[in-house]
C-alpha cells in the first residue's frame, strides 16, 4: 500500500508572474527537503505548471507531508506583501490523498497507476467543486468518514491562517522547537507561542497523531 498526493494550486490563474515563480520554486525546494527527510523512494512531479503529484511510500506520514507542502506554499508572498507577515495568504493548495495498492510501478509517476492513483485523482476532481481544500480516500469507508469529518474542521482552522501562522506551523511540522523557530523567523519565543496557539496547533497535532496511528494500523 502507498499514498498518492495529488494537488492543484488554488486560483493559480490569478497569481502574478512573480508569485507563481516563487510558488513553483518553493514546491521544488520542499520536494527535495521531503525526500531528504523521509527517504529517496518518495517521488514528486509538477504538471501543467499549477499541479503536482507525489508517491508517498509511508502512508501514515501522508497527512504530515501534505501539510508541510501546504504551509510552505501558504507562507509564500509577493514582494509588495513582504512587510505584512500577518496578511492573509496569497497562495494555497487543494490536496487529495489516496491510499491503496500500487499496481503498475514505473520510473515515471506519469506512467504509474493503481488504486491509490485513482483514489487521489478522482477525489481531487470532486474537491474542485467544493470550498474545502483537503480530502482522503482509502478502501476503508469508515476511515474515510472519520478523517474527512476531521479534515472539514481542519479546513476551518487552516482557512484562518495568515502567512505568519503558516510559517510557524510549517516549522512545527518539521519538528523544530519554539526557540529554534524564533531564531529562524527572528522573532521572540513568546511570539512563536502566540502564533502557535492562534493557529490551533494543539488540535492539528492531535489529528496528526490519530491519523498516523490509524493509517499505520490499517495499511
Q: What is the CATH number of domain 2-218?
A: 3.30.70.270
Domain map (residue ranges) of the chain = 2-218
pLDDT of residue 107: 63
Average pLDDT over residues 136-156: 98
- C-alpha cell recorded at residue 39: 527517504
Burial class (CB in 10 A: 0-12, 13-18, 19+), 189: middle
pLDDT of residue 83: 47
Higher pLDDT, 168 or 112: 168
SS3 content of the chain, % helix, strand, coil (to 5): 60, 15, 25
pLDDT of residue 195: 96
CA–CA gap between residue 100 and residue 119 (Å, rounded): 8
18 within 8 A of 78, measured Cβ to Cβ: yes
Q: Partners of 100 in the beta sheet?
A: 2
Phi, psi of 3 (to 5 degrees): -110, 140
pLDDT of residue 81: 54
pLDDT of residue 87: 66
Phi, psi of 99 (to 5 degrees): -120, 125
pLDDT of residue 30: 98
pLDDT above 70 as % of the chain: 92
Q: What is the pLDDT of residues 15-63, one digit of tens each?
A: 999 999 999 999 999 999 999 999 999 999 999 889 999 999 999 999 9
Average pLDDT over residues 5-16: 95
pLDDT of residue 111: 56
Q: What is the pLDDT of residues 96-118, one digit of tens each?
A: 999 999 875 656 666 567 999 99
- C-alpha cell recorded at residue 119: 483514489
Dump strand ranges (E) for the chain.
2-9, 43-47, 51-56, 93-100, 134-137
- C-alpha cell recorded at residue 174: 518539521
pTM of the model: 0.94
Residue 84: band (very low, low, confident or very high) from pLDDT cuts 50, 70, 90 = very low
- Indicate whether 174 pLDDT > 90: yes
Cα distance between the two ends of the chain: 6
Q: What is the pLDDT of residues 114-131, one digit of tens each?
A: 999 999 999 999 998 899
Amino acid at each position: 500500500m502507498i499514498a498518492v498526493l495529488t494537488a492543484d494550486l488554488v486560483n493559480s490563474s490569478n497569481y502574478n508572474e512573480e508569485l507563481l515563480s516563487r510558488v513553483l520554486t518553493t514546491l521544488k525546494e520542499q520536494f527535495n527537503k521531503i525526500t531528504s527527510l523521509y527517504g529517496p523512494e518518495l517521488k514528486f512531479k509538477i504538471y501543467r505548471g499549477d499541479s503536482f503529484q507525489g508517491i508517498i511510500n509511508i502512508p501514515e506520514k501522508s497527512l504530515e507531508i501534505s501539510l508541510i507542502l501546504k504551509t510552505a506554499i501558504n507562507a509564500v508572498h509577493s514582494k509588495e506583501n513582504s512587510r505584512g507577515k500577518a496578511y492573509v495568504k496569497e497562495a494555497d493548495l487543494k490536496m487529495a490523498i489516496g491510499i491503496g495498492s500500487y499496481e503498475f510501478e514505473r520510473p515515471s509517476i506519469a506512467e504509474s497507476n493503481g488504486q491509490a492513483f485513482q483514489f487521489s485523482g478522482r477525489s481531487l476532481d470532486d474537491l474542485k467543486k467544493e470550498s474545502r481544500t483537503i480530502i482522503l480516500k482509502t478502501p476503508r469507508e469508515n476511515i474515510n468518514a472519520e478523517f474527512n469529518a476531521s479534515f472539514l474542521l481542519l479546513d476551518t482552522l487552516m482557512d484562518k491562517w495568515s502567512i505568519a501562522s503558516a510559517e510557524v506551523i510549517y516549522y512545527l511540522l518539521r519538528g523544530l522547537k519554539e526557540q529554534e523557530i524564533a531564531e529562524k523567523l527572528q522573532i521572540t519565543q513568546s511570539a512563536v507561542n502566540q502564533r502557535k496557539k492562534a493557529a490551533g496547533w494543539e488540535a492539528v497535532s492531535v489529528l496528526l497523531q490519530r491519523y498516523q496511528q490509524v493509517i499505520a494500523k490499517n495499511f
